[in-house]
Structure 1
């Protein structure tokens, strides 16, 4: 797999599909503690007829590097990779934190983003006082327990336990520094007051039983968008792996629909 050196990090990525396709490339951006393989089903489907790119974000999966402090810095890494690949215009598909990265890129470079898909993502994390205190307290537990608890909560009850354990093991490979720093970066992320500026055709796909980023918070964001399509799917927070075929079909309809 190819890698790109970016400011002290080696970013691992996949670049698949026909280079001469008429449609612009699709760029898949994973979420917190995850890796590019969250998008396996979507990559296999879309690479048959258009160019598709995915990467392991800095400090995640098979990418190295740490020291990133903000969502904007992760967005800069994604743009650096796309510039390296000489991709000027593209579709962004971001899951969870990847959706925050996608919004950041779209706000900064609206001319480069043809369409955007936000999967289980929001523009501002909002907590009640009680949940805020609970979330703050959760950072004080042992690191492996902190990761396991957050990953377990991401799946709708009833999802196969062995699959959840596999995702916990994958997430636990992410360093404590990266996990905790980006946990804070997500809690600080707030572009809700700016999403009204986005004119890019946008699809918001959300799991009905997402308790990490509840659907009501996504709907609050959707109200602020000038023109957004919303799809709710019977799943938790991990739509790309909980309902891969349904998500792929939803993306396909949105990406092939005339503007």
Structure 2
């Protein structure tokens, strides 16, 4: 498996599809908290038939090594290092949840390199009511595996197969505790809501109607701040890439093939 050593971490990645550029600039798929690059299996396989596609396991996740981080910006720096290594200049970041926070960081810090942006079940600022903030704070005191299980269980819409949810819980719980908890803190501190109005790149925002991890109301607040955003709502929970893979793939496909402005 190809990998790259970056600042004390070894990042495992996939890089497939044609290099001639006829299908458009590369798509870079970025997974979310406690997940791994295989969250994008459906989308990656679909788009690799016509354009270059890249995905990675973020540091400490999946098959990548590395300690946790203090900020989402540190994870974004890893993505930039990988793209520099692969000699990719222009690209389209496609980020899910925490990956969407990374995608927003990339376009804000490197606007000249991002052609357009796709945000899946993500937000620009995490905000809580007093009661929900207290509940989240208490949840961090739970035994680690229970903490992970509670958070992953609630990410799926009612009716999603329980055996599949158990598989995702087991995979997430295999992520080192230090990585899980520091990334959790980095997400809670993430706030670019006052800056996204500067983003000129066309943006697709796709959200699950039943998402209670990052509620629809918060996404709509973010979407309203974007100067050029298309919003699509899908009947799913927080895990759109695996809950409704075909629908998500189709929506992304329509957006990335739109003529450039």
1:35-184 alignment, distance < 5 Å: 35-184=36-185
Which residue matches 1:203? 204
1:178-234 deviation line (CA, Å, top 9, x unaligned): 000111110000000000000000000000000000011000001101110000000
When the two structures are superposed, what TM-score results if normalisation uses the length of structure 2? 0.98
Q: How far apart are 1:67 and its partner, in Å?
A: 3.8
Are the counterparts in 2 of residues 21 and 49 from structure 1 also a CA contact under 8 Å? no
Cα RMSD, aligned residues only: 0.5
1:192 equivalenced with 2:187 (yes/no) = no
Q: How far apart are 1:151 and its partner, in Å?
A: 0.3
Q: Structure 1 unaligned runs (5+)?
A: none
When the two structures are superposed, what TM-score results if normalisation uses the length of structure 1? 0.99
Quick one: structure 1 residues 233 and 67, their matched pair in 2 at CA, closer, same or farther if it must change by over 3 Å? closer
1:148-180 deviation line (CA, Å, top 9, x unaligned): 000000000110000000000110110000000
1:47-97 deviation line (CA, Å, top 9, x unaligned): 001000000000000000004211000000000000000000001100000
Are the counterparts in 1 of residues 35 and 172 from structure 2 also a CA contact under 8 Å? yes
Which residue matches 2:239? 238
Structure 2 residue matching 1:209: 3-state secondary structure: coil
Structure 2 residue matching 1:60: 3-state secondary structure: coil
Are the counterparts in 2 of residues 66 and 178 from structure 1 also a CA contact under 8 Å? yes
Q: How far apart are 1:108 and its partner, in Å?
A: 0.5
Are the counterparts in 2 of residues 59 and 66 from structure 1 also a CA contact under 8 Å? yes
- Looking at structure 1, the residues matched to 111 and 29 of structure 2 have their Cα atoms a distance apart, in angstroms, of 17
- Looking at structure 2, the residues matched to 195 and 7 of structure 1 have their Cα atoms a distance apart, in angstroms, of 28
1:79-125 deviation line (CA, Å, top 9, x unaligned): 00000000000011000000000000100110100010000000000
- Looking at structure 1, the residues matched to 68 and 185 of structure 2 have their Cα atoms a distance apart, in angstroms, of 13
- Looking at structure 1, the residues matched to 145 and 73 of structure 2 have their Cα atoms a distance apart, in angstroms, of 27
For this pair of structures, how many residues does the alignment match?
259
- Looking at structure 1, the residues matched to 256 and 49 of structure 2 have their Cα atoms a distance apart, in angstroms, of 14
Q: How far apart are 1:258 and its partner, in Å?
A: 1.3
- Looking at structure 1, the residues matched to 70 and 195 of structure 2 have their Cα atoms a distance apart, in angstroms, of 21
Structure 1 residue matching 2:255: 3-state secondary structure: helix
- Looking at structure 1, the residues matched to 141 and 67 of structure 2 have their Cα atoms a distance apart, in angstroms, of 21
- Looking at structure 1, the residues matched to 68 and 188 of structure 2 have their Cα atoms a distance apart, in angstroms, of 17
Q: How far apart are 1:21 and its partner, in Å?
A: 2.8
- Looking at structure 2, the residues matched to 222 and 245 of structure 1 have their Cα atoms a distance apart, in angstroms, of 23
Are the counterparts in 2 of residues 202 and 227 from structure 1 also a CA contact under 8 Å? yes
Structure 2 residue matching 1:191: 3-state secondary structure: coil
Are the counterparts in 1 of residues 4 and 82 from structure 2 also a CA contact under 8 Å? yes
